[in-house]
Amino acid sequence: MTEPVATALDLPRFTAAAVQAAPVYLDPAATVDKAVALIHEAAGHGAALVVFPEVFVPGYPYWNWTTDPLQGSPWYERLYRAAVDVPGPYVDALCAAARRTGTVVVIGVNERGRHSLGVLYNTLLTIGSDGELLGVHRKLVPTWAEKLTWTPGDGSSLRVHRTAVGPLGVLACGENTNPLARFTLLAQGELVHAAAYIALPTAPEDYDMAEAIALRAAAHCFEGKVFTVVSCSTVSPAMVDLLAADDARVRKQLDRPHSALSGVFGPDGRPVTEPLVDEEGIVYAEIDLGRCVQPKQMHDIVGHYNRFDVFRLHVDNRPLRPLSKEEA
């Protein structure tokens, strides 16, 4: 079976589900089980698209922000051992859930590098409603302290997928701040954007993560005249207990409010429905891609409202490999 394709004149109306939840931290099997249950729950409420947070399986390396690299190294090994192989049995379970429910699924995983024990990728999987793995996008630039954990991806995965819910593109967290990455997706006809985030209570004191997420989503929607489905993780009490132990400073950091926001934003940059802040839950919203047509008449930055004789974007979409061979 192949994923149904939306044509230029096929502008679907559907229900989107933005999941805001915490993983079962560093437990990939239990986290995948939780994700599968949430896919079925969302489909039971009519969702055709279900978006999960960044690196939901099996969680985010908060120790990079709360301790030094030497103390964080054993945590890296724990994350590496709990990471996901793509393809692999955990991906198979997620694909099976998408197929059984007929939903398009976007979910973040820590992907284990096949060629090196020092390679982990921050990866977003795009799964079609027929259960086919359509896309494996590796975060291009790990943000700040994340560089202690993740290897950068490459341009080969900056692709828009033709799905049952329309042309779908994905970016992870800080990538949604990169106008060139966003333009690359828009220029491929993106109309539905999945933006996956993590709760960041460890951000600088003057940084409001929930506000920053909403700002980025609104910017992409307004500039591109698209819909964005934002999914952000939460930090569970069990995670705080594990990561902080008896350290009151770390516990205070991880308990910081206004660190997560999930929701759906429309082509006018406004929320389609009330976003969810900090608490676990699923935000449902109705998306009508027909709403993208009229705003494009005013500002179509990948069409008439640009000067391609003045501005040109070059994207190298070749996959980067550590070894290439030339046969004699």
Exactly one of 34, 139, 225, 296 is catalytic; name it: 139
User: Which amino acid is residue 245, in one-letter code?
Assistant: A
Exactly one of 3, 54, 111, 190 is catalytic; name it: 54
* CA nearest to 95, candidates 39, 42, 20, 169: 39
- 34 is known as an active-site residue: no
Exactly one of 95, 173, 221, 232 is catalytic; name it: 173
- 292 is known as an active-site residue: no
Strands 13-20 and 47-51: parallel
DSSP H or E run through 20: strand 13-20
Q: DSSP H helical segments within the chain, as ranges?
A: 28-44, 63-66, 69-82, 89-101, 179-186, 209-224, 237-244, 248-254, 293-298
- 173 is known as an active-site residue: yes
Question: In angstroms, rounded to a whole number, what is the distance separating the alpha carbons of residues 37 and 325?
Answer: 44
Phi-psi map region of 176: left, alpha, beta (phi>0 left; psi -120 to 50 alpha): alpha
Question: In angstroms, rounded to a whole number, what is the distance separating the alpha carbons of residues 230 and 273?
Answer: 12
Contact at 8 Å (CB) between 185 and 137?
no
Q: Report, as residue numbers or ranges, the catalytic residues.
A: 54, 139, 173
